[in-house]
């Protein structure tokens, strides 16, 4: 017998009272979920942690050269959804993901996909900067080396330099490339992690609250960098700062208790939200 959650969902008669109530309360996303020029296309994505239904039928496109902000109260599933985009939930034994997630038309949910190159194509920058316990140079050189992106030392040197330049860190570290990555300030470490992500030529960069441990100056530098990176990459950023979402993103997705409530241009979401839950959140009545 098929006891997968999808099978349960299509047989309402088998639902428990709680599940039935949840089904009936299921939100339909307000706004335009699709993009005319999508890089990632997610359809009917569900995530469970054992019995906990953390992401519920979420469908969303993320466009090329777009910064998509993901906002919503703590625990609503932002990080969980972000982790779907490069199969990082695979690393959590309790997590189970269903639905379709395509990168440039290719299904990444396909079990035969090798997640190592996938995670280079769809890189991730975490809340807390996490440089490897290696030199600044080696932090950047490591990825290109394991992915075989360069042929010799001078090509590798060049790639390290361009990655650090694009992350806006080169001038600050060019004379100390052998110093440990951990010797940098928090804001510098976060730019080092962004340089590391860029060094393997990703198509998409996922950022989970990348500035929450940074001061306003370091935050401003990262935000400028995000705007610049958008020219070449697709970026999805989770943030608790509405100001940040408004500053860096073109589209915004509002999550609530695992549902994608509303998605639209950042302008519309902040100036004329359609859904009451979105309005309550952005006006500070909830969250
Ligand atoms: N590894 C895990 N095991 C079990 N449950 C989890 C796990 N990670 C997240 N959850 C649950 O899934 C739900 C969504 O969590 P998630 O971390 O995605 O929320 P979030 O929106 O990123 O919150 P925050 O803003 O606090 O980071 C929460 O109820 C959380 O408790
Ligand atoms: Mg989170």
Residue-wise pLDDT for 101-127, tens only, equals 999 999 999 999 999 999 999 999 999
Distance (Å) from CA 264 to ligand 2 centroid: 21
Asked if residue 256 has its Cβ within 6 Å of ligand 1, the reply is: no
- Ligand at minimal distance from the CA of 260 is 1
The per-residue b/e assignment along 226-256, b for 16 or more CB within 10 angstroms, e otherwise, is beebbeebbbbbbbebbebbbbbbebbbbbb
In a domain, 191, yes or no: no
Mean pLDDT of 80-101: 97
User: Is residue 287 situated within a structural domain?
Assistant: no
pLDDT confidence of 21, banded at 50, 70, 90? low
pLDDT over 90 (residue 20): no
CA–CA dist 191, 157 (Å, integer): 18
Q: Is residue 66 part of a domain?
A: yes
Give residue 180's pLDDT: 98
Q: pLDDT at position 178, please?
A: 98
Q: Which domain holds residue 218?
A: 28-130+197-282
- pLDDT, one tens digit per residue, over 162-196 is 999 989 899 999 999 999 999 999 999 999 999 99
What integer is the mean pLDDT of 198-220?
92
Q: Is residue 188 part of a domain?
A: no
- Alpha-carbon span 204 to 66, nearest angstrom: 10
Helix or strand run (H / E) with residue 43: strand 38-49
Q: What is the pLDDT of residues 216-272, one digit of tens each?
A: 888 998 999 999 899 999 999 999 999 999 999 999 999 999 999 999 999 999 999
Q: Please indicate, yes or no, if residue 171 is contained in any of the structural domains.
A: no
Domain count, the chain: 1
Asked if pLDDT for residue 4 goes beyond 50, the answer is no
Is the pLDDT score of 11 beyond 50?
A: no
pTM here is: 0.89
3-state SS assignment for residue 258: coil
Q: Tell me, yes or no, whether 273 lies in a domain.
A: yes
Q: Measured from the CB, is residue 76 less than 6 Å from ligand 1?
A: yes
Q: Mean of the per-residue pLDDT values for the chain? A: 91
Q: Does residue 119 belong to any structural domain of this protein?
A: yes
- Residue 235: give its domain's CATH number: 3.40.50.300
In a domain, residue 272? The reply is: yes
Which residue has its alpha carbon closest to ligand 1 atom 14? 77
């Amino acid at each position: 017998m098929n006891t997968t959650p999808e099978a349960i969902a299509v047989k309402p008669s088998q639902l428990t009272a709680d599940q039935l109530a949840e089904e009936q309360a299921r939100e339909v996303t307000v706004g335009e979920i699709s993009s005319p020029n999508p890089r990632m296309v997610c359809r009917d994505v569900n995530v469970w942690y054992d019995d906990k239904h953390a992401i519920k039928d979420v469908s969303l496109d993320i466009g090329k050269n777009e910064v998509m902000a993901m906002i919503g109260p703590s625990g609503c599933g932002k990080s969980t959804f972000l982790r779907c985009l490069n199969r990082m939930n695979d690393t959590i034994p309790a997590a189970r993901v269903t639905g379709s997630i395509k990168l440039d038309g290719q299904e990444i949910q396909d079990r035969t996909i090798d997640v190592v190159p996938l995670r280079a194509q769809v890189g991730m920058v975490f809340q807390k900067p996490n440089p490897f316990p290696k030199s600044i140079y080696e932090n950047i050189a490591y990825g290109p080396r394991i992915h075989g992106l360069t042929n010799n030392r001078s090509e590798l040197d060049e790639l390290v330099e361009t990655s650090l330049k694009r992350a806006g860190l080169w001038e600050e570290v060019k004379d100390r490339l052998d110093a440990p990555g951990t010797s940098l300030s928090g804001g510098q470490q976060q730019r080092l992690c962004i340089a590391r992500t860029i060094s393997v030529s990703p198509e998409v960069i996922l950022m989970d609250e990348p500035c929450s441990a940074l001061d306003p100056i370091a935050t401003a530098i990262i935000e400028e960098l995000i705007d610049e990176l958008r020219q070449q990459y697709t970026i999805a950023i989770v943030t608790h700062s509405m100001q940040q979402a408004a500053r860096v993103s073109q589209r915004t997705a509002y999550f609530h208790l695992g549902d994608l409530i509303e998605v639209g241009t950042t302008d519309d979401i902040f100036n004329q939200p359609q859904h009451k839950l979105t309005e309550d959140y952005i006006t500070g009545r909830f969250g």
